[in-house]
Chains A and B, each alone.
Chain A
Amino acid sequence: MHRLNRSLLALILAAGLCITGCGNPAYVPTATAPNPSTSLQKVAAAEVAIGQAVGALQSTVIAANSKGLLSDDTTRTILQLSLKISQADAQAIALTQGIVALGPGQMTSLAALFAPIAQAVNDTLASGLVPIKDQATLTAVKTALTTVQALITGLQLVIGG
């Protein structure tokens, strides 16, 4: 569990760097050409980080379930939520793949994709984790889900959703 917490902390660190653009040393904006794709780059970084964070969340709950620390019902609830997040992420990736800048239509589509997901994550964090009795498991799941929540919130800030 200690190693799991370290991994989650590492994920949060990496996600933060991705969002702030520090993980992209190759890109240097020029003074003469305002970068039209800054928002797009941030959204793309968030899409990558959300996929990684959801993978960490799933691994956490599946491992806890296999150890008998998480019931099938609670595991099912969290995995169904993660499935919705991944499907929204996949659609967002398809929307943003290969384009040069985010237009208003794409921003609206992305906002519509992630608004219900963000609400579902908030609801689960607020009340969906109550059945988890093992404190270490609860902390690990809450940390993983909070990371996903932070990444989605960051993406929503970029697109104005």
Chain B
Amino acid sequence: MPFLAILGIINEALPLLQAGASIIHSWRKNTDGTVTVSVELTQAADVAAADIKQATDWLTAHPKG
């Protein structure tokens, strides 16, 4: 695959990686020195909701006839 094509694919992948960074890890230092990490899916629910709306909108506009 030509080098420029690889660069193009990486360029297209970057926004997806940035969206993937919507997973935020909250840190909490415990009294025993260990660390607890929790996951906050800040945008993932929005993406799923947008997918549901897109599919529902099309299905509503194209009922089985």
Contact = CB atoms under 8 A, between A and B. Distances in A.
Give me the 7 closest cross-chain CB pairs, A-B, nearest first: A14-B16, A51-B47, A10-B12, A33-B34, A10-B13, A86-B51, A90-B48
Interface in B32-49: 33-41, 43-45, 47-49
A97 to B, nearest CB: 5
B62 A86 contact: no
Contacts of B12: 6-7, 10
Nearest to A66: B58
Interface stretch (A73-81, A118-126, A130-138): A73-81
Interface of A: 6-7, 9-11, 13-15, 17-18, 23-24, 26-27, 30, 32-33, 35-37, 40-41, 44-45, 47-49, 51-52, 54-55, 58-59, 62, 65, 72-73, 75-76, 79-80, 82-83, 86-87, 89-90, 93-94, 96-100
Contacts of B19: 48, 52
Nearest to B12: A10
Given A76-B59, A82-B51, A26 B34 contact: no
A86 B64 CA distance: 21
27 contacts: A10-B10, A30-B35, A32-B33, A32-B34, A33-B35, A36-B36, A36-B37, A37-B39, A41-B25, A41-B39, A45-B20, A47-B41, A48-B19, A48-B43, A48-B47, A51-B51, A52-B20, A55-B51, A58-B55, A75-B58, A75-B62, A82-B51, A83-B59, A86-B51, A86-B52, A90-B52, A99-B38
